[in-house]
């Protein structure tokens, strides 16, 4: 592979699926060939074992366009910083975490340095850009300049083509992976379940940022009706985000304090234990304007722990599972739709026989993922 600069605002310690994806992928590649340019962080992280260099820069901006003075200044300063890193580390290739704004920075820098540009596409990034004429024009230039667009799902690839940002020939699909050593099935442990508040309950969990697209709000609103049908049902929301207070108020207003909990302090080990000890995992995602779930790494992690999964029929979630065998996709566009869809799932669960963990391990483990990525990056170099 070429000496590569990974340009991404989303990277640990910032939480989120794409940041974790980039960490897991590039920390498994030869460190001498990777430099990461990411946002400033005050929180300490353990340096990657492969020795890759991490450069911290101010990459946050409230303005992603170029019509405003603030936007122009942000891009001008960022391009200068990236060109300095290109020269400092003898970079031959830039991998952008998103088409905008990282892709715009790389596009402008490449016009002056001739480095190759590769951009990741997550689905929601191009959907959001499409609602702005200015952002759409920028994304089209980024896609035109890019050697390849790496899409996290077939759904994201289809979006790029549907929005006329690029042709299929420029797109490749590389699904994110999961840590097969950290996420594994274990035996049911009643003591652990009791500690989680799941004693004598049918435990359903959601892991993910507390935001509208993830759908925790609608599942909570569906709970009163679901409890009439499944009295032992218990729902645990795991994550942090802007909807935390709203979700807690919903729980209180609906009188669900004994049936729904919000957990915001789960570290990696506790999260894995919750995956392992729950009964079913659900990501009740829905499309909000242009905001979609491009893939859903949490669905891989849950299956890796041996759990059948349920997801909204929006975005690329169906690509994480064998639909009807290791999981289901249902309509999550309203609380009533969730009630109907989840009730159907509860009827079908006892008949499932395929091992979710074996399926994802053979298809999505980081070892499998990195081998595919390395072959792709070597192809870029040649």
Which residues are CB-neighbours of 91 under 8 A, at least 6 positions away?
3, 4, 5, 35, 85, 115
Instruction: Tell me: do 210 and 75 sit in the same domain.
Output: no
Residue 290 pLDDT exceeds 80? no
Q: Which residues pair with 203 in a beta bridge?
A: 234
Instruction: Say if residue 136 is in the same domain as residue 241.
Output: no
Number of domains making up the chain: 2
Q: Assess if residue 256 is contained within a domain.
A: yes
Short-list 52, 332, 376, 72, CA closest to 213 = 332
Which segments of the chain are extended strands (E)?
4-8, 34-39, 53-57, 93-96, 116-121, 148-151, 171-173, 202-207, 233-238, 260-263, 280-283, 309-312, 327-330
Q: Residue 113: is its pLDDT beyond 70?
A: yes
Contacts of 138 (CB under 8 A, 6+ apart): 64, 65, 66, 100, 104, 129
Q: Is the pTM of this model over 0.75?
A: yes
Q: In Å, what is the CA distance from 228 to each residue of 198, 223, 234, 237?
A: 18, 9, 12, 20
Beta carbons within 8 Å of 15's beta carbon, 6+ residues apart: 209, 240
Indicate whether 184 belongs to any domain: no
Q: What is the CATH number of the domain that holds 336?
A: 3.40.50.2000
371 in a domain, yes or no?
yes
Predicted confidence (pLDDT) per residue in 157-184, tens digit = 999 999 999 999 999 999 999 988 999 9
- State how far the alpha carbon of 349 is from the alpha carbons of 259, 279, 332, 336, in Å: 21, 10, 18, 20
Residues 285 and 307 in one domain: yes
Task: Encode pLDDT of 19-62 as tens digits.
Answer: 889 999 999 999 999 999 998 876 677 888 899 999 999 988 87
3-state helix, strand, coil in the chain (%, to 5): 45, 15, 35
Does 131 score more than 70 pLDDT?
A: yes
Range of the domain at 68: 4-177+365-381
Q: Mean pLDDT, to the nearest integer, of 108-122?
A: 95
- The pLDDT score that the predictor gives to residue 42 is 62
At residue 54, the pLDDT reads: 94
Position 128 pLDDT exceeds 90: no
pLDDT, the chain, mean: 94
CA 21/CA 19 separation, integer angstroms = 5
d(CA 167, CA 164): 7
Indicate whether 238 pLDDT > 80: yes
If asked whether residues 357 and 370 sit together in one domain, one would say no
Residue 264: pLDDT over 70: yes
Query: What percent of the chain clears pLDDT 70, i.e. is strictly above it?
Result: 99
Q: Are 160 and 137 in contact (CB under 8 A)?
A: no
Angstrom distance (rounded) from CA 18 to CA 97: 8
pLDDT in tens, 134-153: 999 999 999 999 999 999 99
End-to-end CA distance of the chain: 8
Q: Could you tell me if 317 and 373 lie in one domain? A: no
Residues 213 and 303 occupy one common structural domain: yes
Asked if the structure places residue 64 within a domain, the reply is yes
Cβ–Cβ < 8 Å for 58, 39: yes
Spatial contact of 380 and 3, defined as CB atoms under 8 Å apart: no
- Tell me whether residue 46 is in a domain: yes
């Amino acid at each position: 592979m070429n000496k590569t600069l990974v340009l991404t605002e989303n990277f640990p310690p910032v939480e989120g699926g794409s940041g974790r994806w980039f960490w897991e992928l590039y920390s498994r590649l030869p460190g001498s060939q990777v430099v990461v340019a990411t946002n400033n962080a005050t929180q300490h992280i353990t340096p990657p074992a492969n020795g890759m260099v991490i450069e911290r820069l101010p990459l946050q901006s409230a303005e992603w366009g170029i019509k405003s003075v603030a936007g122009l200044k942000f891009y001008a300063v960022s391009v200068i910083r990236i060109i300095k890193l290109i020269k400092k580390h003898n970079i031959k290739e830039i991998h952008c975490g998103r088409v905008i704004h990282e892709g715009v920075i790389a596009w402008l820098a490449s016009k002056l340095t001739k480095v190759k540009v590769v951009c990741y596409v997550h689905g929601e990034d191009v959907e959001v850009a499409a609602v702005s004429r200015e952002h759409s024009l920028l994304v089209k230039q980024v896609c035109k300049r890019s050697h390849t667009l790496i899409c996290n799902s077939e759904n994201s690839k289809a979006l790029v083509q549907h929005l006329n940002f690029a042709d299929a020939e420029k797109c490749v699909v590389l699904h994110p992976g999961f840590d097969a050593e950290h996420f594994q099935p274990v035996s049911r442990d009643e003591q652990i379940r009791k500690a989680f508040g799941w004693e004598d309950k049918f435990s359903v969990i959601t892991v993910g940022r507390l935001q509208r697209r993830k759908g925790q709000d609608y599942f909570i609103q569906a709970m009163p009706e679901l409890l009439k049908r499944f009295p032992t049902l218990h729902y645990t929301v795991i994550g942090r985000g802007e909807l935390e207070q709203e979700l807690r108020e919903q729980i209180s207003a609906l009188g669900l304090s004994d049936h729904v909990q919000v957990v915001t302090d789960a570290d990696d080990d506790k999260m894995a234990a919750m995956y392992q000890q729950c009964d079913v995992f659900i990501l009740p995602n829905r499309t909000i304007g242009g905001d979609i779930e491009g893939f859903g790494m949490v669905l891989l992690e849950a299956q890796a722990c041996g759990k059948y999964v349920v997801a909204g029929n929006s975005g690329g979630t169906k690509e994480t599972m064998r639909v009807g065998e290791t999981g289901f996709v249902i309509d999550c566009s309203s609380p009533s739709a969730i009630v109907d869809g989840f009730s159907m799932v509860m009827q079908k669960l006892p008949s499932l026989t395929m091992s979710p963990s074996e399926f994802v391990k053979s298809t999505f483990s980081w070892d499998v993922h990195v081998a595919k990525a390395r072959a792709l990056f070597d192809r870029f170099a040649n």
